Structure 1
Amino acid sequence: MKRVLLPALLFAVPILSHAGTEAEERLEALGLLIKHSETVACDTTFRGHKSARELLKNVHTIERDEEIGSATYYILWGGDMGCNRGAGTSSWFVSEVGRHSDSRPFMVRTNHAFGERFASEVNPRFIRELQRTGDRQFVVVSSELAGNDANNFPSSRYRYTLEMQQGVWQVVDKKFLGRNEY
């Protein structure tokens, strides 16, 4: 019995570790990030959705190599990191989830996929949209507080274009989209 079971397990391991389809991987990366968010944040944007379809629009494939099984996904999500539960403590995050080969698991690599400098140029508290527009380019729609704005009511909405340049994400364009109405 042991002789039959061991070869069956050895044969099954490559099949189980082989990269799935991109759709399966995106779903797996999203599921992992949802579990991760439960350990680091409260009141996340993952709550209240009846299906993954709506959430999958915020999962963006960055790279995927079927031959070695590596993959990287950027996922937009929001929540109260650290569960401070105060006015202005919720924010949006772009997390990087990936793996280096099909024999390794997906892991949340960072909650700041665009780098720490991103938050100094784009206010992450008010992100409303993330779109991949090219191989090394994203568009982010977010808002900014102006002079007399209340803490949770930014008046100005902008579209930022981000590009990967020399291994770092840079804001290369900022366009005013109008005033927010409340």
Structure 2
Amino acid sequence: MNNFYKTFVLATIAITLSACATDRNLSNVKTPTNQVYQPAIAVNTSEREEILGIVQNFATSVACSTSFDDDAITKTTVNDVFLVGTSNLGNPENKSFNSDYLVYWSGDMGCSGGVVDNTSFMTSLTKISNTRPFLIETGFGRDDIRHDRFFSDLDIYPNFVSEVDYKDGVFSIISSHDNGDGTNGWISNNSPRYEYLYTVAGDASEGWRIVDKKLLSEHKLQ
């Protein structure tokens, strides 16, 4: 059995074990399966800055009042650029890594000008080799990878996201929401009554899912 075959068998076993793991709570969240092929890779700061510039150009081309603006209350920085997946396609000697990033930003898509039109987005970028550029996953009409569906697909209101952090394959997202039963869930037309901390796990290839939801605060009705 040659070294490449041994590596392939070990990688297959690792993927199978990861797929069998449950994620009832955060302690059971496993390393995303598309990251099992290689040791941890340090985040490339210059690469993150490059991606930030790409998304800034995209955002300011399709939206107004973005988090990239100089007068933005909360600005998008390199800290909002998240490396969520890498792979060398099962060959440890292959140095040409795939890279998947998500970038958190907000803005008024289409420049509608309304108060509730400022929305949070998670834009996906992928580079399939070191000889290819990073490309934004716009979806080209496919709803499953549209850049504006990350939060709504998780049933998180994108209009009320206030904080996003990412560490070890897990997102921590703070957002407001109603109580889910349609009664007394709002303190005004545009303000949900409840604020939650969502723990979101998964990866760029298999999708994301909420593994924990914690109530942080409740705004009392007047």
Equivalence for 2:160: 126
- Structure 2 portions without partners, runs of 5+: 1-42, 89-94, 139-146, 179-183
Q: From 5, 25, 28, give the equivalent of 2:50.
A: 28
The secondary structure found in structure 1 opposite 2:104 is: strand
Cα RMSD (Å):
2.7
Q: Distance in 1 between matches of 2:126 and 2:98?
A: 7
Change (3 A) 1:26 1:148: closer
Deviations 1:66-96 (A, max 9, x none): 8114322111100011111112111101111
Report if aligned partners of 1:91, 1:126 keep a CA contact under 8 Å in 2.
Answer: yes
1:172 aligns with 2:208: no
Answer 1 or 2: which has greater strand percent.
1
User: Given the two structures, how large is their TM-score scaled by the length of structure 1?
Assistant: 0.75
2:62 paired with 1:40: yes
Q: Is the contact made by 1:96 and 1:112 (CA closer than 8 Å) also made in structure 2?
A: no
Consecutive aligned runs of 4 or more in structure 1 exceeding 3 Å deviation? 112-116, 145-148
AA at the equivalent of 1:177: L
Deviation of the 1:130 alpha carbon: 1.1
SS in 1 for 2:61: helix
Partner SS state of residue 191, structure 2: coil
Task: Check 1:108–1:180 CA distance in 2 against 1; reply closer, same or farther (3 A cut).
Answer: farther
**Secondary structure at 2:117 match in 1:** coil
Which residue matches 1:150? 188
Cα 1:64–1:24 shift into 2, 3 Å: farther
CA separation of 1:115 and 1:100: change in aligned 2, threshold 3 A: farther
Alignment of 1:50-129 (within 5 A): 55-64=77-86, 67-110=95-138, 111-112=147-148, 114=150, 117-118=153-154, 121-129=155-163
Is the 8 Å Cα contact of residues 80 and 103 (structure 2) preserved in structure 1?
yes
Matched pairs, number: 156
Moved more, 61-70 or 98-107: 61-70
Q: Which digits, 9 at most, give the CA deviation of each residue in 1:155-180, with x for residues without a partner?
A: 31100111218812111211100135
Deviations 1:18-47 (A, max 9, x none): xxx711110001100000011211110111
CA contact (8 A) 1:29 1:98 kept: no
SS at match of 1:149: strand
% identical aligned pairs: 29
Q: Point out where structure 1 has 5 or more consecutive residues left out of the alignment.
A: 1-20
Q: Deviations over 1:93-134 (max 9, x none)?
A: 11112211111111111424737622xx11111111111132
Given residue 133 of structure 1, which amino acid in structure 2 is its aligned partner? K
